[in-house]
Structure 1
């Protein structure tokens, strides 16, 4: 069985595990200005901290968060969990969204260079660290010309020692290419999972020698096996009142039948060799490209253990990858 080795994040020289953990869910509840949920519902902070520490024990070293997750709460929790163990972890966070930390509300976005510095310093305080390993622009549709100015600002932050590398969280290869021109650009964070491929972005990452940070690797839970046709998401969960971009779920938090059907089509292959469905979905990503670093979300120690357990199985085979492509009509 093929094993997984640590990844080098793009051209940065930063070494991290092939599996990262996404910290959106542990941020807890927060909303947009209209009161619509942007988090994954209520969480237990003690369980979240224990899950991060358990992940470290299991060899997971890459943790991806954002300043806006939980309106600052995710960063604070991650910093608490890593206290005394900062050197063991690679911390990635994001900026660009504006929020009210006290009210737990996202209020807008700001792509100015001045705000970038303020946001970075605020993230460092919440994380309890003096540097961020990978700092990512969180405005996926930001103007490319303004983004070029932010890229140069990021180069300045590298020289100051505030960040080690930077990237852009975007699904647009043309925008990602703007940041890729920077010497210390190391990654693109973009949507990628077994159900929805992103060939142009994967090709860009391979061509530009960037890490492909795979956002939504478990399709917001559809690839965990816990959702069926009668499932409902709880109040306070973004899946219960999905915004337009979240098409995995229909109104009321009901899983979309078309996506559930695609999950069923590939279930047997993903669960081969004793994997759980989630572990198989992660295995597909590792087979898709040697530059992928999937960042599944988690809220409990049990989820951390299941996701980390995928590493032992390694990637799917080339034959399994091809068969899944046929089954999904790609």
Structure 2
């Protein structure tokens, strides 16, 4: 069954700006931009190209720009600040805090204490070169600090006008309930895609009952669902998929390739890319879902953004579900060290 609206492919122009979605009091484009890869982890991106990608995102209505204080050890926030200069009111800047990352790797711990919340906010404001953060999110739960303390500090920052809304990332239903009882949580950021579906067991239902928007990161399986990773040997030495993500070990990747091949076949039947089909599947999960795929390519940015216009009927969705059953995925989505900081 072909889609009602054909999204653009690489090299074409996007016909319309994205429709709007709500995150608390914020209005954002229906799809955001994950900015981590513009600074590190997935291979080098020319800084000028990175700025071009961010500005092109704003042109398309991709207004939610997701970064974090530890991306590039602060360099990513500085990049975003540079890219939105002169266009600050068009952007909805989402940055995260909490990870303790003194050197290479993904971090050595988490801090959610009130003092760190305040210190992190001030540091991010300086690097971003702005007077407010639109969405400020705790990257992972600090199990040594009651979430009520963290949320209390975030609520104070919101009252002071330093942040407009706040969110939590990778927390489970019970933690989300406790946090929301202190002050309204605007967004839940979590990994969610055709091969990462843990949120669907319980947390998604809680978020919806509380009116919390869901912001899926890695909606393309870190490139896997787009067909961009066929062999672990093709990943660069600095690519963290080599050491931090078990699904990309040679054996697991080889076992997972049939999933990507089935998605690609379905996409080809419909005249779209696998990435567009994977993103459209997420968009069809509800108007409270705002995926944030990352890319360092202006062409891929436009291609991904146009997935919001791809209409999928019940037969399309059923075919996708049948082709990529969650139980077939080989390997956990994070390594053991990182999973210790995740709730589902």
User: Shorter chain as normaliser: what TM range?
Assistant: 0.7 to 0.9
1:306 aligns with 2:283: no
Quote the Cα distance in structure 1 between the aligned partners of 2:56 and 2:116: 35
Structure 1 moving runs of 4+ over 4 Å: 103-107
1:319 aligns with 2:301: no
Q: Is the 1:144–1:178 Cα contact (8 Å) retained in structure 2? A: no
Aligned residue in 1 for 2:329: none
Aligned residue in 2 for 1:36: none
Quote the Cα distance in structure 1 between the aligned partners of 2:176 and 2:144: 9
SS at match of 2:45: coil
Quote the Cα distance in structure 1 between the aligned partners of 2:318 and 2:183: 35
Structure 1 residues 298 and 131: CA distance shift in structure 2, 3 A? same
Structure 1: which 5+ runs fail to align? 29-38
Structure 2: which 5+ runs fail to align? 6-15, 327-344
Aligned residue in 2 for 1:175: 175
SS at match of 2:186: strand
Superposition TM-score, scaled by structure 1 size = 0.86
Quote the Cα distance in structure 2 between the aligned partners of 1:272 and 1:202: 31
Q: Is the 1:228–1:255 Cα contact (8 Å) retained in structure 2? A: no
Number of aligned residues: 309
Q: Is the 1:265–1:328 Cα contact (8 Å) retained in structure 2? A: yes
Q: Is the 2:263–2:274 Cα contact (8 Å) retained in structure 1? A: no
1:268 aligns with 2:265: yes
1:54 aligns with 2:56: yes
Aligned residue in 1 for 2:78: 76
Q: How far 1:235 moved relative to its partner?
A: 1.2
Q: How far 1:40 moved relative to its partner?
A: 1.8
Q: How far 1:97 moved relative to its partner?
A: 1.4
Quote the Cα distance in structure 1 between the aligned partners of 2:287 and 2:208: 9
Q: How far 1:108 moved relative to its partner?
A: 3.7
Q: How far 1:318 moved relative to its partner?
A: 2.9
Superposition TM-score, scaled by structure 2 size = 0.83
Q: Is the 2:152–2:183 Cα contact (8 Å) retained in structure 1? A: no
Q: How far 1:258 moved relative to its partner?
A: 2.6
1:208 aligns with 2:210: yes
1:16 aligns with 2:17: no
Deviations 1:41-87 (A, max 9, x none): 22211110011011111111111111111111111101100001010
Q: Is the 1:288–1:321 Cα contact (8 Å) retained in structure 2? A: no
